[in-house]
A and B are shown apart, each in its own frame.
Chain A
Amino acid sequence: IDEPPTSAVLLEHCSFSQVVFSSVEKFYVPGGDVTCYYSFTQQFVPRRKDWIGIFKVGWKTTREYYTFMWVALPSDLNKESTKQQEVQFKAYYLPKDDEHYQFCYVDQDGVVRGASIPFQFRPETEE
Chain B
Amino acid sequence: HYFRYDEHVSLCLEKLRSPQSPNPLCPSQQKYVRCSVRAQIRHLRRVLCHRLGLSLQHVQILFDNEPLPDHMTMKQLWLSRWFGK
Query: Is chain B a partner of chain A in the same complex?
Result: no
Residues of B within 8 A of A (CB): none
Residues of A within 8 A of B (CB): none
